[in-house]
Amino acid sequence: MKKLKVAILFGGISEEHDISIKSAMEVAANMNNEKYEPIYIGITRSGVWKLCDKVTKDWEKHTDCPVMISSNKMIRGMLVVRNDKCQIQPIDVIIPVLHGKMGEDGSVQGLLELSGIPYVGCGIQASAICLDKSLTYLVMQNSGFKTPKFKILNKNETLCGEELNYPVFVKPARSGSSFGITKVCHREELPNAIKEARKYDEKVLIEQAVIGMEVGCAILGNGADLIVGEVDQIKLSHGFFRIHQEKTPETGSENSAFIVPAEVPKKKREEIKQTAKAIYQSLGCSGLARIDMFLQEDGQIILNEVNTMPGLTSYSRYPRMMREANIEFEELIDRWIMLALEGRK
């Protein structure tokens, strides 16, 4: 049987560059090489695309081969520059294992739509909406879902902070992995928190803290045909969840623990799953996503955020939740590729 040529995109220009590499390493390690011929395309922090032999933390040291995805649908592949000559190499499917801006925000998805190459994950619109937490909240509120109370600060806008109910979380509107997030308990702390968030995005989200259990759902599928992994729960000893900022997350978090399944009654877990599916469908997600929510003491479920290309590292939540639903990583990859081929012929 002819192997499918599967390109794995990783790296990227966002602050989540290193996390993307770790995720791609896990995808590469779990891909069935009897079915697929992997093609590794790394993107440097400065935005240079290069072909490489494998995914490693120091991949840039081992390649100097520029590559680009062609936007010409007649080619349906990539252009590889070798010895000052441009060669065409076909690609059957692309897995964009990219996190954050210029990777998970619809920009790369736009290029892949132009190329005509099927790709894993959400399309342009869902990717753009979900990476911008303020847009996610606005769309979800208009669809009847509960979100935290929030304010948006656009570029050059300021806020005195008197009208806020503290504590609040100050976040870059378009970032991930907890970069630039500060918990603010007093008005005097607000200017520095806004300054920190603006290191990552000029658009800032100020979100009223929600008291409740942090829960999540891993979702796989297109349209109404969805598989939901087991609900997980984040238990915090202090602070807030920021495992990707820690020095050695592979050996365990400094302040958090994952519990799968979540320590809530089965009936409530089913309600959380159904809510996650409804959010996924309302946003037009496809392929995969992780839906993060809060479960309050009175039973209300409040949306936290939607990750259209969730972390896939050895310590990430999405693979764990799917494993509890008896879907191992290798099967996940098979299903992602099948969904991409079915959804974008």
User: What CATH code is assigned to 4-119?
Assistant: 3.40.50.20
pLDDT tier at 249, thresholds 50, 70, 90:
low
Whole-number CA gyration radius for the chain = 20
Residue indicated by tokens 């299903």: 335
Residue 297 makes CB contacts below 8 A (sequence gap 6+) with 211, 212
Q: What is the mean pLDDT of the chain?
A: 91
For the chain, the structural domain boundaries read: 4-119, 128-146+211-343, 150-208
For 302, phi then psi, to 5°, come to -120, 130
- 142-151 average pLDDT score: 96
Q: What is the CATH number of domain 128-146+211-343?
A: 3.30.470.20
**Percentage of the residues of the chain whose pLDDT score is greater than 70:** 93
121-144 tens-digit pLDDT: 999 999 999 999 999 999 999 999
Which two tokens mark 171?
């976040």
Q: Which residue has the higher pLDDT, 338 or 344?
A: 338
Q: What is the pLDDT of residues 325-341, one digit of tens each?
A: 999 999 999 999 999 99
Residue 297 has pLDDT above 60, yes or no: yes
Contact 277, 228 (CB under 8 A): yes
Q: Residue 168 pLDDT more than 80?
A: yes
With 0-12 / 13-18 / 19 or more C-beta atoms within 10 angstroms meaning exposed / middle / buried, residue 289 is: buried
Determine what percent of the chain is predicted with pLDDT higher than 90: 80
Instruction: Order the strands of the 4-11 sheet from edge to edge.
Output: 85-90, 77-82, 65-69, 49-52, 36-43, 4-11, 93-96
Two tokens at 234? 């984040």
pLDDT higher than 60, residue 242 = no
Six-digit token string for 261? 């399944």
Q: What is the average pLDDT across 197-220? A: 94
Judge whether residue 248 has pLDDT over 80: no
Q: Look at phi and psi of residue 221 and say left if phi exceeds 0, alpha if psi is from -120 to 50, else beta.
A: left
Query: What's domain 150-208's superfamily in CATH?
Result: ATP-grasp fold, A domain (3.30.1490.20)
Question: What one-letter code names the amino acid at 66?
Answer: P
